[in-house]
């Protein structure tokens, strides 16, 4: 490496360390010109600008979904004028939106002035539940309008009202339907990754607690034709699973049990219990009580399967420590946990052989398994 004289006499400002040196405008100007550092300066500057502009990126994404532009472009390439007319957006504003979407890699300009989807843009249409999740982010945007007040706990987030089921069993039917539809869509990818990570060898009867309309159990039943299936969820949510099981041809080996794991015992008879995107909705005390019920409901050797987005352990992650951490904070109950924290809760409940599995897509879900001794 070539030695070169540093500004400030080669030393950081006294008492400030390396951070103080990097923050110095004199150092920044020097590093931007020096051949061995100017590439780093440029990349760091671009990364910092992406953080600065990130909220505008998410708004472009929201606008595309609200105006149904990905679906329109999936049908056929269209000009800015075509899309402007179809969406009642002024042409000059549609051009700005499409150029922004192009810069973000979601659409591309084709021949004859038409726009089409990129692979990333096509995923907006093809990934199950993605557009629905984006569309409901308007609630989260409002909750984060004053971030400082949000982190001080001085706001009353709307998101808590979007998911009221986490507070108890008395959920109106229309609210339960909204929750179930969104969760069923998002469960498709979760089920895929859980089935890829977890071995179901030897499992004869799976009880899915908090399983909604049965999207996860349906995926399990289709992948393993010798496993009996039981779903347990709130009275307003669980019955819709019956139709799903029947449509999938799983009615002969599936059943639905209604109840609340807060106040009711879990059904017995299963040799495995799954908790899919359940723990991060609740506080530690609620989870401790639930895990104790799981322990009691399982026989010796019975397996516990946990699948949900998790925070990083030693190294924070963008999915777990940014998105899901803020999302659960806005919900007003629960929190994103690391695999280590979840393992500790399982251990406290009496489970052994706790295994953290390699996640295929940690931003979708991570998994761990445990056994009742």
What pLDDT was estimated at residue 170? 52
Nearest-5° Cα angle at 96, 94 to 101: 95
Give the length of the chain.
Answer: 373
What lies within 8 Å, CB to CB, of 153 at 6+ separation is none
HSE-up (13 A, CA, CB side) for residue 57: 11
In order along its 373 residues, the chain shows pLDDT tens digits of 344 444 444 444 454 676 776 777 776 777 667 777 777 767 887 888 888 999 999 999 999 999 999 999 999 999 999 999 999 999 999 999 999 999 999 999 998 899 999 999 999 898 878 888 898 899 999 999 999 999 999 999 988 777 655 545 554 555 545 555 666 667 888 999 999 999 999 999 999 999 888 999 999 999 999 999 999 998 877 778 898 999 999 999 999 999 999 999 999 999 999 999 999 999 999 999 999 999 999 999 999 999 999 999 889 999 999 999 999 999 888 899 999 999 999 999 999 999 999 989 999 999 999 999 9
Give the model's pLDDT for residue 130. Answer: 85
User: What strands lie across the sheet with 78-79, from one edge to the other?
Assistant: 78-79, 114-117, 107-109
Residue 2 is predicted with a pLDDT of 40
3-state SS, residue 51 = helix
Domains of the chain (ranges; CATH) run 8-36 (no CATH), 54-126 (1.10.10.10), 141-371 (3.40.50.150)
Q: Give the C-alpha distances (Å, rounded to integers) separating 364 from 125, 309, 347.
A: 17, 6, 25
Q: Which of 90, 89, 121 is nearest to 103 (CA)?
A: 121
Which H helix or E strand runs over 352? strand 352-356
Q: What is the pLDDT of residue 340?
A: 96
The answer to whether 331 and 163 are in contact (CB under 8 A) is yes
Q: How far apart are CA 132 and CA 11, in angstroms?
A: 53
Ordered alpha helix ranges (H), 145-251: 147-152, 159-162, 173-197, 215-223, 240-247
Please report, for residues 90, 110, 167, 170, 270, the alpha-carbon distance to residue 213 in angstroms, rounded to integers and kept in the order given: 41, 42, 19, 17, 19
Q: Is the pTM of this model over 0.85?
A: no
Q: What is the per-residue pLDDT for 5?
A: 46
Contact between 181 and 163 under an 8 Å Cβ cutoff? The reply is: no
CB 212 within 8 A of CB 241: yes
**3-state DSSP assignment of residue 354:** strand
CA–CA gap between residue 197 and residue 367 (Å, rounded): 7
Decide if 236 contacts 173 (C-beta within 8 A): yes
Going 314 to 318 to 324 to 327, the CA torsion angle's sign is: positive
């Amino acid at each position: 490496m070539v030695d070169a004289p540093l500004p400030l006499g080669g030393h950081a400002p006294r008492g400030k360390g390396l951070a103080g040196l990097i923050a110095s405008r004199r150092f920044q100007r020097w590093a931007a010109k020096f051949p061995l550092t100017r590439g780093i300066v440029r990349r760091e500057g671009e990364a910092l600008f992406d953080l600065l502009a990130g909220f505008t990126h998410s708004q472009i994404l929201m606008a595309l979904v609200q105006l149904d532009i990905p679906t329109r472009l999936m049908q056929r390439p269209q000009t800015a004028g075509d899309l402007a007319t179809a969406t009642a957006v002024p042409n000059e504003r549609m051009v700005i939106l499409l150029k922004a979407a192009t810069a973000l890699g979601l659409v591309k300009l084709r021949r004859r002035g038409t726009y089409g989807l990129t692979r990333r843009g096509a995923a907006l249409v093809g990934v199950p539940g993605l557009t629905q999740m984006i569309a409901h982010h308007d609630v989260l945007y409002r909750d984060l309008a004053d971030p400082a007040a949000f982190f001080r706990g001085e706001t009353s987030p709307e998101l808590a009202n979007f998911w009221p089921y986490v507070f108890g069993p008395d959920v109106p039917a229309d609210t339960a339907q909204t929750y179930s539809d969104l969760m069923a869509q998002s469960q498709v990818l979760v089920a895929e990754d859980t089935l890829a990570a977890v071995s179901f060898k030897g499992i004869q009867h799976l009880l899915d607690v908090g399983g909604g309309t049965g999207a996860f159990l349906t995926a399990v039943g289709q992948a393993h034709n010798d496993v009996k299936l039981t779903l347990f969820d709130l009275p307003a949510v669980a019955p819709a699973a019956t139709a799903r099981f029947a449509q999938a041809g799983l009615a002969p080996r599936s059943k639905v049990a209604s109840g609340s794991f807060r106040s009711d015992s879990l059904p017995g008879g299963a040799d495995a219990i799954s908790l899919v995107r359940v723990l991060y909705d609740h506080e530690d005390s609620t989870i401790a009580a639930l895990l104790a019920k799981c322990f009691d409901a399982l026989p010796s050797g019975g397996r516990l399967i946990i699948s949900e987005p998790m925070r990083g352990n030693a190294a924070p992650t963008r999915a777990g420590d940014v998105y899901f951490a803020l999302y659960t904070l806005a919900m007003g109950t629960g929190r994103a946990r690391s695999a280590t924290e979840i393992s500790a809760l399982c251990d406290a409940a009496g489970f052994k052989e706790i295994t953290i599995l390699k996640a295929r897509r940690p931003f979708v879900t991570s998994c761990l398994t445990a056994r009742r001794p």
